[in-house]
Every structure is written in C-alpha cells, then in structure tokens.
Amino acid sequence: MITFLRKLFGGGPLRSEKEIYRYWDGRQWQNADPIRIQLKLVEIGGDNWTDMLQGLRALQASKLPLTPAMQAQRLKQGLLALADVAELARKVFGVQPYGMEKGKAVGLTEAECLGLITDFLDWVDHLVEDVRPFASWPAATELAFLDSPDDSTIAPSADSTSDAASSETGGATPSPKDSLQSSEVS
C-alpha cells in the first residue's frame, strides 16, 4: 500500500526498487551503485580494461596443435591474466585476498574474484536488456553482424541446411558425398 501511494504521489523509488548491485566480499554482503563500479573499472583498469578479460582466452584449449613449450607459455599467459583480473576485482570491489583472520576465513580466492567480475558484467547485461525501450529492438549483442563485410561470411545453421537438403531429396537425408556434389554443381 505504501509503495502504491508513494508511486501515486510521485515519491522516489523505494530502496528495493533501485538497481543496486549486491555481492559478497568475503566477510559480508555489500551493496554498490553499478555506475560507480563501472567508473572504478575504467579508472583502475584503464580505458582498455576489457583487454584483461580477453587475456583469459589463453586458458582455453587451442584448436591448433601446440608444442609443449608453447602450451606452457600459453598457460602462463592465461594465469597471469587471471591474476590481473583478480587484482582488478579486489581494487574495484574493495575485497581482500583469501586468508584467515582470527581463526575465520575472510576474503575471496582468485577464482571468486574472477566470478565477481563476470557476475557483475552479466548483471549489467541483464539490466541493459530489461530497460530496452521496445522488445522489438535488437539487443546490443545481436548487432555484431554489422561488423561483418557482407552476408556471405555468415554460415547457415545445421538445421537450415538439413531442411533445405531434405526438401531437395524428397525427405531423405542426403549423404555427405551428395551434399559435396551438389555444392560443386552450384
């Protein structure tokens, strides 16, 4: 009832209606203004702070065959990037490294710091999605095709190719040899 009256008479939003990011700092739950967090990310991490996140890709398995020395170097780069992102999270969110204090565990591990940054970025993405003016407007991630020079670089999905192929063959699933021959003809 109070919420209804407050909205009716133009009062500001109640605390529960504000978009406040809530996170665990290793001791207690904290509330933070997401704009302040983003400003700290840029202030502490620099304009290209997202490049730190891209460095984590070195931890992913390579699709190319790598020598053991190259694999070790790639792992080292990924772990250094992880340490950089964890340090960025500690500074931005004001959290301590994991440790014991008076017999009680406090702070966040490296992995938890990485999770804190990724959770915040996911939270912001959902927030942006929720405030899109019209549901028919594309999400920011759906506009990535604008970077592509032409539509020929976008490969059709497996479902669309199998549907098209089955209509050409009268419903029978073509063999890989048949699809190869049909692509050579066209």
- Domain locations along the chain: 2-130
Out of 94-108, 127-141, 162-176, pick the least confident. Answer: 162-176
Confidence of residue 113 (pLDDT cuts 50, 70, 90): very high
pTM comes to 0.58
* Count of other CB atoms within 10 angstroms of residue 6: 14
Bin 125: left if φ > 0, else alpha if -120 < ψ < 50, else beta: alpha
Q: Rounded CA gap, 119 and 127, in Å?
A: 12
Signed CA dihedral, 167, 173, 179, 182: sign only: negative
Out of 3-7, 68-72, 114-118, 173-177, pick the least confident. Answer: 173-177
Q: What is the mean pLDDT of residues 143-166?
A: 47
Tell me the angle at which helices 110-130 and 34-45 cross, rounded to the nearest 10 degrees: 130
